[in-house]
Amino acid sequence: MKKIKRALISVSDKKDLKPLLRVLKKFKVEIISSGGTYKEIKKLKYDCTEVSDYTGSPEILGGRVKTLHPKIHAGILNKRNNKSHHQDLIDNNFDNIDLVIVNFYPFEQTLENTSNHKKIIENIDVGGPTMVRAAAKNYNDVTVITSNFQYEELINELTRLNGSTSLEFRQKMSRTAFTETAYYDALISNYFNKITNNNFPEKKIISGNLVEKLRYGENPHQESAIYSKNKTLDIIQLHGKQLSYNNYNDIFAALTISKSLPKNTGVVIIKHANPCGVSALKDPVECYKSALACDPVSAFGGIVSCNFKINKKLALELQKLFLEVIIGDNFDAEALRILKKKKNLRLIDASNFHSSEILKFISADQNILIQSEDSKIFSKKDFAVVSKKKPTKSQFEDLIFALNVCRFVKSNAIVLSSNKTTIGIGSGQPSRLDSCQIAIDKMKKFTNPSTDIVAASDAFFPFVDGIEKLIQSGIKAVIQPYGSINDKEIIKFANETNTVLVFSKTRHFRH
């Protein structure tokens, strides 16, 4: 046990101080403080010594230097059972500081509220993290508190132990404190990398806030949690049981596709992180029905993401099928009433979710792969019509729609579409030819359309056999990235069969 005799309090967030001050007074703890915290403590009518009076050194540099003083840091860092340390304190007339309560300048909130570089720099705390690191290092003798959320736990500890703290408590607070300083420094590091467009620095620091611990991961024997760069997620669960690891994985896969579609348009149906139906028709009900028709068997137990507000008419259709999750840009009252009848169905409001130029991370053992998201916005200059036969306007729009979906399908990927709706998807096959066959089989089994059919491939066809299989199945136009040594053979075959062939200048693997 370590008795708390002297505390240093310097907090940016001054909420909830009063109950803590009451307990510190009860146990006759001397309080040192600085700046605004000192004024707040005096305002609450508690005794307090200002840091400048305690150290005998005034604040300088407009407040940049106030707690950076040997009397402060020697009081925190000295080992109480070390005779040499004890003698140093006597020789310099320094006293022990047993409790450090500090939270930092609001750097994270400043980033959210301004892009003014000077203001951001001034909200980088120096003295606070320095004191916290010192106290956390010396947890054997010193207690460190870094958040007002810990005040109640500290109050309970002091009350239980009559003004003392246990080693177990101090060690726990130390662990949290080092996490806090690491997170704070990560925010600063990432800010400087961002403003200098340095996505891949020599040392990459990944930080996040725990949103929730999940029941398990992909399988029950795996541990899992979800973290966010923000304090909360950009999606809101309105109804249903707790989301699982697999649910979140599917939700983000669905949102990545649906947010790539025109605003207020599009339905995406996901199963095991792969789309099994996508449509961009304007009428919500027809859009959903068309997406579902692509593969109604796979859609069973899947996730539906609507890039618009879900109304009563659509809700009546959605409730006919067993689904794990329904995502919308909000729901009207009648839609919620209908869908909430299914107790376990998760309803997600994604109206605040926005895809951004963020990095994707994949970890393997102690290694991390990082890349930017494939969020390229297609324009006509990204494509070249290489066949003699030219696409109609509607064909060209369908080709771009199909390629846009294709880039979110696990490679090797083939997407067949008609009228801005997928009618066959072949995914995740080592052979591109097999993906073609799966997409064709799906089309023949569920849709078998009579209108023009187009096909998209996420990479080039290395041989004629793949495009030949598609054309034999009724495909009238194909879009694929260029780059094969057999590109000329592919173009020749397209011309011989009077097929539209468009080359994309970009490849779109998704492994």
| Residues known to be catalytic | 137, 272
276 closest CA partner among 406, 425, 404, 453: 425
List the Cα angle 38/40/41 in 5-degree steps: 65
Q: How far apart are CA 319 and CA 323, in angstroms?
A: 8
Q: How far apart are CA 38 and CA 44, in angstroms?
A: 10
> How far is residue 62 from each of residues 41, 59, 66, 259, 328, measured CA to CA in Å?
21, 7, 9, 47, 50
Which stretches within 377-497 are classed as H helix? 393-406, 432-446, 464-472, 487-496
Residue 154 CB-density burial (10 A; 0-12 exposed, 13-18 middle, 19+ buried): buried
Q: How far apart are CA 302 and CA 251, in angstroms?
A: 10
Q: How far apart are CA 504 and CA 406, in angstroms?
A: 12
Q: Are 178 and 101 within 8 A, CB to CB?
A: no
Q: Are 199 and 359 within 8 A, CB to CB?
A: yes
> How far is residue 108 from each of residues 125, 128, 314, measured CA to CA in Å?
11, 15, 40
Q: How far apart are CA 374 and CA 187, in angstroms?
A: 25
Q: Which residues contact 196 (CB under 8 A, 6 or more apart)?
A: none
Token code pair at residue 169: 């408590």
